[in-house]
């Protein structure tokens, strides 16, 4: 005698919409979402999005409702004027008024450039595929040079001065504000005000070549006093261990030809500035966590982590030398 197992049918059908909704909503949170605003402009964009979504839904329902009503013959005894009212009202007056309201609403969201107080300027220069970052505070004589990570004070408007070295890039921190193109030969300016301290993610939003998708950066928003302390700290040299073996290998392997380390070697400017790299959250312009292991991977073969990158591979160096350089860099803070 055979046991007949009861047939169990599991239907995932009803779960699918819920799962899809979950996936969709997961895009609304996190460090890189325009719908989870942490900045003045992002809040406006988010509000605009919800207002337009609601408005578009109402108009969509009205148009389809009218079409459905007409199809089902619900318009009883239409007069000769009915189509004219619908065409002139729905086709001319309604869109004109709605678009006019949206135009004025949109224009009012433009930043106020009229007053130009002494404010913090952050110059960001887009290059394939990383970000050169220079901070110029009003009361600061020497600019602070950094790369691939941006620090901001909460509650203060910061002026981004955007340029590009090669192709068109687009500078975008979705959680903090709108994006703006970086155009070779031109300077564009963006005014952003972060409102909530935290760590966010910025990206290049314009296709700029092979590793465009690997051109990102971390954004750290501090309380104003913490930001001032951070900036002050960056005006001084990093802790460089004079007897660190990695330091010697860094210099003898030619790394300094392209990379600057404040207080150690100031000639290289082809690649990202490495002063205080140990304190950065990511390496390779936002593509990997900043750990000695990842740094060693990067030095060994950067193109493996970021295709077509300009930095050559240092496979020829003994692994222990690479590890020593990675440790040396990790300690620069």
Partner 1 sequence: MTNHLQKEVKRETGEGTDLWRVILAPTIWAVHFLVCYVGAAIYCEKAGRMADLLPVRLIVGTATFIALAGLAAVFISLWKVRGLSSVNDDYNYAGNTPEERHRFLSHVALMLCVLSGVAILYAAFPALVLEVCR
Binding footprint of partner 1 on the chain (CB under 8 A): 92, 96, 99-100, 103-104, 107-108, 110, 113-114, 116, 189
What is the biggest distance separating any 2 CA atoms in the chain, rounded to whole angstroms? 95
C-beta closer to partner 1: residue 77 or 114: 114
Rank residues 116 and 142 by Cβ distance to partner 1 and give the closer one: 116
Residue closer to partner 1 by CB (options 1, 81) is 81
Q: Which residue has the tokens 């609304």?
A: 28
Contact present, 121 and 190 (Cβ < 8 Å):
no
- Whether the CB-CB separation of 125 and 131 falls below 8 Å is answered with yes
Q: What share of the chain is helix, strand, coil (3-state, %, to 5)?
A: 40, 20, 40
The nearer residue to partner 1, 73 or 185, going by C-beta atoms, is 185
Cβ closer to partner 1: 189 or 315? 189
Q: What is the Cα–Cα distance from 266 to 326, expressed in whole angstroms?
A: 19
State how far the Cα of 214 lies from the Cα of 326, in Å rounded to an integer: 21
Pinpoint the alpha helices (H) of the chain.
Answer: 15-26, 40-71, 81-85, 94-108, 224-234, 245-252, 292-300, 302-305, 319-330
What are the backbone dihedrals phi and psi of residue 18, each rounded to the nearest 5 degrees, phi first?
A: -65, -45
Q: How far is the CB of 103 from partner 1 (least distance, A)?
A: 6
Q: Count of residues for the chain?
A: 333
Q: For residue 75, give the DSSP letter.
A: S
> Nearer Cβ to partner 1, position 188 or 253?
188
Q: Report whether the peptide linkage leading into residue 125 is cis, meaning its omega lies within 30 degrees of zero.
A: no
CA distance readout (Å), 28 to 2, 16, 179: 53, 19, 18
Nearest distance, CB of residue 98 and partner 1, angstroms = 12
Closer to partner 1 by Cβ: residue 100 or 224 = 100
CA 134 vs CA 65, 156, 205: distances in Å: 55, 18, 20
């Amino acid at each position: 005698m055979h046991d007949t197992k009861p047939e169990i049918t599991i239907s995932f059908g009803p779960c699918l919409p819920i799962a899809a909704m979950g996936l969709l909503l997961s895009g609304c949170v996190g460090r890189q979402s325009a719908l989870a605003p942490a900045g003045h402009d992002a809040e406006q964009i988010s509000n605009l999005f919800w207002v337009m979504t609601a408005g578009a839904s109402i108009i969509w329902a009205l148009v389809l409702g009218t079409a459905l009503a007409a199809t089902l013959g619900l318009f009883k005894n239409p007069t000769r004027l009915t189509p004219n009212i619908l065409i002139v009202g729905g086709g001319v007056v309604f869109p004109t008024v709605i678009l006019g309201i949206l135009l004025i609403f949109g224009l009012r969201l433009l930043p106020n450039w009229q007053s130009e107080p002494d404010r913090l300027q952050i110059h960001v220069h887009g290059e394939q595929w990383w970000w050169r970052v220079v901070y110029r505070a009003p009361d600061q004589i020497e600019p602070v040079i950094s790369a691939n990570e941006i620090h901001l004070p909460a509650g203060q408007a910061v002026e981004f001065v955007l340029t590009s070295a090669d192709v068109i890039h687009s500078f975008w921190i979705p959680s903090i504000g709108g994006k703006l193109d970086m155009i070779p030969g031109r300077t564009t300016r963006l005014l952003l005000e972060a409102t909530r301290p935290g760590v966010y993610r910025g990206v290049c939003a314009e296709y700029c070549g092979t590793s465009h998708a690997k051109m990102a950066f971390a954004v750290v928003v501090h309380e104003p006093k913490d930001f001032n302390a951070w900036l002050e700290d960056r005006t001084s040299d990093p802790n460089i261990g004079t007897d660190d073996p990695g330091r010697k290998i860094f210099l003898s392997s030619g790394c300094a030809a392209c990379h600057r380390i404040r207080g150690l070697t100031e000639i290289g400017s082809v690649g990202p500035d490495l002063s205080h790299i140990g304190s950065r959250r990511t390496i390779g312009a936002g593509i990997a966590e900043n750990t000695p292991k990842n740094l060693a991977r990067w030095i060994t073969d950067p193109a493996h982590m970021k295709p077509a990158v300009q930095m050559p591979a240092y496979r020829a160096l003994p692994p222990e030398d690479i590890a020593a350089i990675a440790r040396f860099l990790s300690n620069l803070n």
